[in-house]
Amino acid sequence: MAVEGTVGSGKTSLIERIASLCGCRPFYELSDKMIEDMLVHFYHDRKRWAFTMQILFLTSRFEQIKEASKIEKAVLDRSIFGDVVFARMLHRYGDMKSHELSVYERLYSSLIDSVNPPYLMVYIKISTDLAINRIKLRGRDYELIVEREYWENLNSEYERYFLEYNRSPLMVINADRYDWVNNERDGIYVANKVKSLIEKSISGELSKDFRTEI
């Protein structure tokens, strides 16, 4: 399965709960040192590094999903399927040129055709204000320099993408309603809801058009 959401949505905390409860192996986005190093360059000069950053992200996600496909139970911090959200946002707001987006989307299409979608996609829906508060609390220097408009645009692109997502069963979790980061009761509730849907999806009870929200 995969967990998607904008920066600061609480993906890592949710993945840790799911992995512990369901016995899944977690795959984290920032476990790739090259990505973390590149993010520093990217956030300081998005126009210069947007295309390079997106190709690196796409490559890393493809490598992760290939590795995860060899394991019976895995949970991914973001997925190759949602990677296009960032690329389209960067193009829409002028950080990536049209010909760069065309090159990216050609590679993206080729790669996703060769992998299976997750048996459950979890999308964390969150207000921009709450996401920014969490970004500030964790205090990564390269994120703190980013203007509010960027986070608003990214969040809007995620909303747009998941309104139309239909590659696999989808569970939408409202992070403004449930605080699994700081509230243990909420954490247990949400993790158990995810676990129930994982089991139903694996058993074939859910169609790829299934969608639910809590």
- 87: domain CATH number is 3.40.50.300
Structural domain containing residue 41:
2-213
Q: What are 120-142's pLDDT values in tens digits?
A: 999 999 999 999 999 999 999 99
When divided into structural domains, the chain yields a total of: 1
Task: Specify the pLDDT at position 33.
Answer: 86
Helix and strand tally (H, E) in the chain? 9, 6
Report how far residue 118's alpha carbon sits from residue 107's, in angstroms, rounded to the nearest whole number: 20
- Bridge-based pairing of strands 170-174 and 121-125 is parallel
Question: Can you list the positions of beta strands (E) in 34-125?
Answer: 74-77, 121-125
- With 0.85 as the threshold, say if the pTM is over it: yes
pLDDT exceeds cutoff 90 at 72: no
Q: Go through the chain and tell me how many residues it has.
A: 214
* Residue range 199-210: mean pLDDT, rounded: 93
Q: What is the DSSP letter of 116?
A: P
Tokens of 194: 């995810």
* Residue range 79-84: mean pLDDT, rounded: 93
Distance (Å) of CA 199 to CA 48, 71, 119, 180 = 44, 16, 10, 21
Question: Residue for token digits 């969040």?
Answer: 155
Q: What are 31-69's pLDDT values in tens digits?
A: 888 998 999 999 999 999 999 999 999 999 999 999 998
Closest residue by Cα to residue 10 from 212, 191, 204: 191
What is the spatial order of strands in the sheet that 121-125 belongs to? Answer: 25-27, 74-77, 2-5, 121-125, 170-174, 211-213
Report how far residue 2's alpha carbon sits from residue 45's, in angstroms, rounded to the nearest whole number: 29
Report how far residue 56's alpha carbon sits from residue 45's, in angstroms, rounded to the nearest whole number: 16
User: Quick check: 92 and 152 in contact, CB under 8 A?
Assistant: no
pLDDT exceeds cutoff 90 at 20: yes
**Residue 48: CB atoms within 10 Å:** 12
**Residue 149: CB atoms within 10 Å:** 10
